[in-house]
Chain A
Amino acid sequence: MVETKTEVVYQRPESFTDVHTHYCPGCTHGVAHRLVAEVIDEMGLREKTIGVAPVGCSVFAYEYLDMDFVEAAHGRAPAMATGIKRVLPQNTVFTYQGDGDLASIGIAEIMHAAGRGENITVIFINNAIYGMTGGQMAPTTLAEMKTTSSPYGRDVELAGYPLKMAELLAQMEGSGYVVRRSLHDASNIRKAKKAIRLAFEAQERGLGFSLVELLSSCPTNWNMSPQEALDFVREKMVPVFPLGDYKVIPALENLRV
């Protein structure tokens, strides 16, 4: 004789507000938001967490992540987070930044936050483009990739080469956990979530600067369908920005989450 039990396999996380996001259909910013919300819920950090939103498409992150939030100047989120963390060392402080914000205008602040081993967590969305302003070249834009400010494709001779932030930041002695993940399919999304979890665990344990770089899509400015955009991430971005753990300090290595 057989009974059945109904379980909820998945539902919208607590810390995700009940509002329709302004992101374009299929934009993986939404996925990244959701993962952050899930991790914060699972770790029970919501009431002590202070988020720092960037200037970029995720400027309104605070409208979707239901916790205390500030909105930084373009690129300065790590400095602002530093100011907060230094006066509220017991709180959990994270920034959420795009590649223009973090790797272009904000590269000084992120390098030095890592250099100081600032005990904050950085969620870094690498979508190889400036989304909010309508598709200009980012430091992470791939060679030959067409954008509104590299209309003939990024000419590395004139516009330089894609910056690999995870690799650079891993070199800083102050960083405790620096990895790159991708959001282009379900299994990678699951791995990304684990990494975000570890990054916050690192902060809770005071192990220094933690950053998760997430390869993301921008269907709108790439002029692709959402699925085409994810395929582009897998086929074109992953080879240039290899996924992996670039810095995991011993104290974290055998941490199971």
Chain B
Amino acid sequence: MKHSMKLPLYITVATFVLAYAACVAQYPNMLSSRVIANLLTDNAFLGITAVGMTFVILSGGIDLSVGSVIAFTGVFLAVVLRDTSLHPLSAFALALLIATVFGAAMGATIHYLEMPPFIVTLAGMFLMRGLAYVLSTESVPIDHAFYGWLQSLYWQAPGGGRFRITGLLLLVTFGVAMVVLHRTRLGRNVYALGGSAQTAQLMGVPCARTTIAIYAISGGLAGLAGIVFSLYTSAGYSLATVGTELDAIAAVVIGGTLLSGGSGFVAGTFFGIMIMGLIQTYIVFDGSLSSWWTKIVIGGLLFTFIMLQKGLAWLTTARIPRANGSTARS
């Protein structure tokens, strides 16, 4: 039954491998180092956001504000670098601080005012996007030597693929998140909260601290994703990353984490991200879908992956005698 815990993860990995193999069978070019490097680079900011989202969803919450936080961070960086002489590194630190504090504030609101995360973070989403507009409605280019230097840091693989520093950051974030979630008390408390907040409280989990920490992590990682995004586009734009929260949620869910909380793995999220990236790459390679068919196909594939998971999970649990479900839960 140990494997039944990790089963969704294995299913996601298997799905990814199968899907990739199918794509390569049709377009051999998709095995090139370029495509692999692009999967990492292009999805770096989404992946980092999804890590934070995994924390939140594991705890039974949801964070709709991440897309706006990314946009805000980008605009903030661009405006600060344009209008002040601050070094980008200090600007990064400042941006991370703002995003983290913002997340923590949402966490505190959720905990102390007993408001549902969906609504608190929805309001947060409006607020951050609004603040980004207030900073600048125009797209502000970032033209700083440091940015150029960061962008020039990459390893060119045979075949032309460029493995960039942001891709590395993505992998590091996932690594750290895995350690935090599985090997620290905070991480286990996240799972505990997701199992049942009430029970966790009775078991002595510091709910206030944990909730605040979770949303602070999500906010902070969204801020980090904002930095990555600003490196990616060398600009800050208040209209950027609209709807990214839904992409991140979808990636987390495809990665096998239950939206009801308490069950899932951050490694699954990684493959969730890769699957979403693969879908897009495939659509570009195909190149024959109209705008509307693109949407329909993305929705259809989302549905397919969910059903695939359901089906596999059902196949594997049907053989294990059904738990009585009588474990007390609130």
Physical interaction between A and B:
no
